[in-house]
Structure 1
Amino acid sequence: MEIILKEDIQNLGHKNDIVSVKNGYGRNYLIPRGLAILATTSAKKVHEENMRQRAHKEEKIKNEALEVAKTLEGKSFTIGAKASSTGKIFGSVNTIQIAEALTKEGFNVERKNIAMKDDAKELGTYTVTVKLHREVKVDISIEVVAE
């Protein structure tokens, strides 16, 4: 079954992608929840026209994301956390705290667009991937220090 995605779905595709899924997954999960529509011939024609009109806007958004990526690249952000004398953090540093640190510096990034490779449960430096656009990702350095 071919469907047109209305939203980004992890491990399946991005918004406005035409993907093939099993009939049950599309009919019982994606379509009833409004995450996708059935890719009929007329829906595909409408989709193609919309994508043609959107191409210019997408290019502008991608260029803006590239500019933000250039300013973010190589930057290091510091996040304070309560820690024991051995350097272990009470809890862990999560994407919400990283998003707040980026917002304080003037970079508006949603927390769902931040991916941590390792859990930050100790003091130290960690690498975090920030997804600014579907094609633009940048790695930044996060330093976790004791408060």
Structure 2
Amino acid sequence: MAATEVILLQRVEHLGQMGDVVKVRPGFARNYLLPQGKAIRANDDNRARFERERVQLEAQNIKRREEAERLSERMEGLAVILIRQAGDSGSLYGSVSTRDVAQAVTEAGFTISRQQVFLAHPIKSLGVYEVKIALHPEVVVPVIINVARSEEEAERQARGEAASPEEEAEIAGDDAVVEGELITDPAEIAEAEAAPAEANA
């Protein structure tokens, strides 16, 4: 099937910058780029329209980027806890999806949509993860997602502490394959959790 030519109205990861004319799969254009307003078809009328409106579009983009940068400063060091049921191996009954992450971040006071969450695969195991949130095509902020069975377990995971002997026995033999960016180094976890305190200092 022939590729579709589009003009990007904003930066799109792995595709190009605003104003670039790129060739994409027809389905990608039809189902994602065009309906989300990220691009327009590269026909003569649209090329002329883009050139007429380029300055205005670039000004709007700069304004949105500046707003996203201010929001990213407020979100710096954000850590949210998701309480989930899990088996003895630490594998979740179910998984944590982009929708779950978006809801948790929104409940923490920052309204985002699931489309803004970068998650290559659903999270399927307990642990502390770094998930990237796209506030703007050019502004991405990391958020710490702490998936635990209880608030107490989440606090221990955040400190990088081992579980109690009873819990160790319960989760012994954990051979679950963890997908995503799992933070296992206690120093990294402590550093990620300390960030909000430093930001407020």
Which category of TM-score, normalised to the shorter sequence, fits these structures?
0.7 to 0.9
Aligned-partner SS, 1:21 = strand
Residue in 1 aligned with 2:48?
A: 45
1:18 pairs with 2:1: no
Q: Sequence identity, in percent?
A: 27
Query: Using the alignment, how far apart are the partners of 2:64 and 2:117 within structure 1?
Result: 18
Residue in 2 aligned with 1:133?
A: 136
C-alpha change, 1:82 and 1:135, in structure 2 (3 Å) is same
Query: Using the alignment, how far apart are the partners of 2:91 and 2:106 within structure 1?
Result: 26
Aligned-partner SS, 2:86 = coil
C-alpha change, 1:34 and 1:123, in structure 2 (3 Å) is closer
Deviation string 1:92-132 (CA, Å, 9 cap, x unpaired) is 11111111101111111110110125642111101101001
Query: Using the alignment, how far apart are the partners of 2:123 and 2:6 within structure 1?
Result: 38
C-alpha change, 1:117 and 1:141, in structure 2 (3 Å) is farther
Residue in 2 aligned with 1:3?
A: 6
Q: In the alignment, which of 91, 98, 104 is matched to residue 107 of structure 2?
A: 104
Q: Which has the higher strand share?
A: 1
TM-score scaled by length of structure 2: 0.58
Q: Which has the higher helix share?
A: 2
Deviation string 1:7-53 (CA, Å, 9 cap, x unpaired) is 98775457x6432327xx56x9847x99342332x532320221211
Structure 1 unaligned residues grouped into runs of 5+:
none
Structure 2 unaligned residues grouped into runs of 5+:
35-39, 151-201
Query: Using the alignment, how far apart are the partners of 2:19 and 2:52 within structure 1?
Result: 14
TM-score scaled by length of structure 1: 0.77
Aligned-partner SS, 1:83 = coil
Task: Assess if the C-alpha contact under 8 Å between 2:116 and 2:134 holds in 1.
Answer: yes
Moved over 6 A (4+): 6-10
Aligned-partner SS, 1:3 = strand
Aligned-partner SS, 1:67 = helix
Q: Pairwise mapping of residues 70-85 of structure 1 onto structure 2 (< 5 A)?
A: 70-85=73-88
Task: Assess if the C-alpha contact under 8 Å between 1:78 and 1:145 holds in 2.
Answer: yes
Task: Assess if the C-alpha contact under 8 Å between 2:11 and 2:137 holds in 1.
Answer: no
Query: Using the alignment, how far apart are the partners of 1:141 and 1:124 within structure 2?
Result: 10
